[in-house]
Every structure is written in C-alpha cells, then in structure tokens.
Amino acid sequence: MRTWFITGASRGLGRAFTEAALERGDRVAAVARNVGTLRDLADKHQDRLLVRELDVTDREAVFATVKAAHEHFGRLDVVVNNAGTMSSGMIEEFTEEEARAQFEVNFFGALWVTQAAMPYLREQRSGHIVQISSIAALGGFPTTGLYSASKFALEGISEALAMEAAQFGVKVTMVQPGGYWTDLYTSMSASEPLPEYAELREELARQWAEGSVDSEPRLAAEALLKLVDSPNPPLRLLLGSMVYDLAFGISRQRMETWAAWEEVSRAAEKAVPAPEVTA
C-alpha cells in the first residue's frame, strides 16, 4: 500500500490519478483549491482518502498541508505535482501580472510541494516525485509561450532534483502528456490580443479547425501506475503517440542544427590560462 500526495486532484488528470490509486488499494492525500468534486470519493474511501483545500501558490500553506498529510498517514511514497493552469497569448501581449501568475502555479507551486515533501522522503530514504509537465516542455509554440516557459522551468529544476535526491533513494520523473479530455483548455486565461497578430491567429485557427482526438484521462492514470511500479523509472515519460513522434522530431531538428553550426560552435572555445588579477 502506497501513500500518494496529489495536487490538482479535483479534476482532469489529477482526479484520474486519485481514482486509480484508490482503486488499487493505496492511500491518497488529495489536494486542490476546490475539493467539492471529491466528495463522492471521500464517502467511498473514508479511511484511505484525505481531502484538503490547498492553493499551491501559498508556500506556508503547502508546507502545513504536506506535514498534515504525513502525520495523518505516517509516510509519503508518491508525490504528484499535477496542479497547473494555462495562459494563451502571444509573448508581446502578456502583462507582468499575467506572466507571473502562470509561473506561480506551474513552477513555484510544484517547487513548494517538492521542498515540503523532500525532508520526509529523505528521512525514509525512498519515494517518487512525479512532475506533470507537458508537450509544451518539448518546445515553444505560438500562443503557448508562457505556458511552455513555466514547464521548461519545471523540468530544469527537476533534472537537478533527480541528481540531488538519488543519494537518498528518491526518484524523480517528468511526465509529458499529450492531449487528454480535461478542462485545461476551456478554463485557460487569455491575453488581450494585439491586432498585429490577427493573421497568425487566423492561420492557427485554420490549423486547429481540423480538430484533435484526445484521450481519456484514465489512460494517463494507467501509465502513471506502471511508472511508479517500475524499479527503475525513467527521468522522462512521454504519454501519447503524437507527443512521442513530436519529441523525436524536435530532437532530430535540434541535432541537425547543432551539426550544421558545429564549426562555429567549436571555434568559440579555446582554453587559456586564467588572467592575472591586478590590484
């Protein structure tokens, strides 16, 4: 029986993760800003589900909630940083408030939960931190630049965290999902559009008009269970064929560009002795 701590547990992928963990007999501390949608699960799994309201941007509240979950269950095994928001808009259009708000949840929220959980995982010398990243962490795309930036930042600290935590037996995985039928897109905020980008927006609208075939969140939950069951989980896990193909395409393109500019890159380096320091 594992003990999970899942943020953004009230809907979408977070709800699916919570259900999957409970169905297999595990215990879950499910947190979200609005927990009303979790009442049915709380009634059904009273002894194995702890529901708490939490705004992950409130660092003090995060530490208190993680502590309460640990005290309630006695341990934490899987920490899933799933809470997230999406802002849509061209880079030039974002206000400072909008830009900071995107990072407050997607980056700082995950950072606070990670910092709060690590002491417990270190002490028990085991655990698995799962950062729910995104296809947007593979590259930047028009209108999702700020969202991509927040996920790039999350992956940056997660790579470092994986190396820092390994000595304590704590594992870290970044999960990069593709499209799932959640309300992430319907609940996203949008910048005030500038008329100069009207043509690009029309082109994007034409591309999106073809529609997308997204998946049921339960499939992501099934993949997550396989991930945490693995004795040797990967640092990154792609979820979905589209994301899988896109990741390889972006990587190949980058490698081709690096190779084409190899001569310039190598010429920019020539080791020399340290310069003398003069008073």
Which is catalytic among the residues 87, 151, 171, 191?
A: 151
Let me know: does 129 contact 79? Beta carbons within 8 Å.
yes
Which is catalytic among the residues 87, 147, 150, 171?
A: 147
171 is known as an active-site residue: no
232-266: b (≥16 Cβ within 10 Å) or e = ebeebbbbbebbeebbeeeeeeeeeeeeeeeeeee
Q: How many CA atoms lie within 13 A of 23 on its CB side?
A: 10
133 is known as an active-site residue: yes
Which is catalytic among the residues 133, 134, 150, 191?
A: 133
147 is known as an active-site residue: yes
Let me know: does 173 contact 128? Beta carbons within 8 Å.
yes
Which of 81, 105, 92 has the alpha carbon at shortest distance from 188?
A: 105
Residues noted as catalytic: 133, 147, 151
